[in-house]
């Protein structure tokens, strides 16, 4: 599957002989590109699955072209901003989180390389989507301080309408990659009813060897 020349992907759940969910998973294995689902299936379960497997948004049929164009424009804008944030991620150094040669260690063998803008797990590069990277770097820049959901919407999603569910999905995906214990997150803590905080003391203070 070669998609490098495309800027974004529009998927329906029902694609004849295959599922749009399966195609989304396949695309996410190799590409970081905006994926927008459109479907006549309107259950919350379908929306949640679409977001969990890597979809950026979900439009229920029927819809207008105006809504579709607005959604696509917003998603592309977020991806461009996320890329810009990745290019500036080295600016984390000297702020709230101390780095080790441009690396932020979450646990032994797991670190964020701020110079290469990559997440490394046991020596291999892990898939890390642009919005996940932007969200994580924002939380790291504000380590030790509770960041409200409203602040995340304003500074990461830039005020575009996004429900709490979308933020929670992105946080969960990040935790799956960096947390030692998903049942009891130690790095990104949830402050119920408010937002999230990165616990500086929970970061791994080693050399990653």
The domain in which residue 180 lies consists of 127-204
Asked whether residue 110 is assigned to any structural domain, the reply reads: no
pLDDT of residue 148: 92
pLDDT of residue 98: 46
pLDDT of residue 160: 60
Asked whether residue 30 is assigned to any structural domain, the reply reads: yes
Which of 57, 87, 117 corresponds to the end of one domain? 87
Whole-angstrom distance between the N-terminal and C-terminal Cα of the chain? Answer: 36
pLDDT of residue 2: 54
Asked whether residue 82 is assigned to any structural domain, the reply reads: yes
Asked whether residue 115 is assigned to any structural domain, the reply reads: no
Same domain, 149 and 197: yes
Indicate which CATH number applies to the domain containing 25: 3.40.50.2300
Same domain, 8 and 77: yes
Asked whether residue 143 is assigned to any structural domain, the reply reads: yes
Asked whether residue 116 is assigned to any structural domain, the reply reads: no
Between CA 39 and CA 112 the distance in angstroms is 36
Asked whether residue 120 is assigned to any structural domain, the reply reads: no
Indicate which CATH number applies to the domain containing 148: 1.10.10.10
pLDDT of residue 195: 92
Q: Digits of tens for pLDDT over the chain (209 positions)?
A: 555 567 789 999 988 888 999 999 888 877 778 899 999 998 999 999 999 888 989 999 998 999 899 888 888 887 777 766 555 544 444 444 444 556 788 877 788 877 667 788 887 888 778 788 889 888 988 888 899 988 898 888 875 656 667 888 899 999 998 888 888 888 899 998 899 999 877 776 554 43
Same domain, 83 and 132: no
Between CA 11 and CA 95 the distance in angstroms is 40
Between CA 151 and CA 143 the distance in angstroms is 14
Number of domains making up the chain: 2
Same domain, 79 and 139: no
Between CA 158 and CA 131 the distance in angstroms is 12
Between CA 20 and CA 38 the distance in angstroms is 10
Same domain, 1 and 83: yes
Strands 9-12 and 35-39: parallel
Kind and range of the H or E run holding 197: strand 195-198
């Amino acid at each position: 599957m070669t998609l490098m020349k495309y800027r974004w992907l529009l998927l329906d759940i029902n694609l004849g002989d295959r599922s749009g969910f399966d195609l989304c998973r396949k695309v996410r294995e190799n590409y970081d590109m905006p994926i927008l689902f459109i479907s006549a299936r309107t259950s919350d379960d379908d929306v949640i699955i679409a977001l969990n497997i890597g979809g950026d948004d979900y439009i229920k049929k029927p819809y207008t072209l105006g809504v579709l164009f607005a959604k696509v424009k917003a998603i592309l804008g977020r991806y461009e901003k996320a890329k810009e944030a990745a290019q500036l991620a080295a600016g984390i150094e000297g702020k709230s989180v101390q780095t080790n040669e441009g690396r932020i260690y979450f646990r032994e063998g797991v670190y964020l390389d701020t110079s290469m803008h990559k997440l490394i797990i046991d020596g291999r590069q892990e898939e890390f989507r642009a919005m996940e990277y932007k969200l994580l770097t924002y939380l790291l820049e504000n380590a030790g301080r509770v960041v409200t959901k409203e602040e995340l919407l304003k500074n990461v999603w830039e005020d575009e309408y996004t429900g709490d569910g979308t933020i929670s999905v992105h946080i969960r995906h990040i935790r799956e990659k960096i947390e030692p214990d998903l049942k009891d997150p130690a790095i990104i803590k949830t402050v119920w009813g408010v937002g999230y905080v990165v616990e500086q003391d929970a970061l791994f203070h080693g050399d990653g060897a």
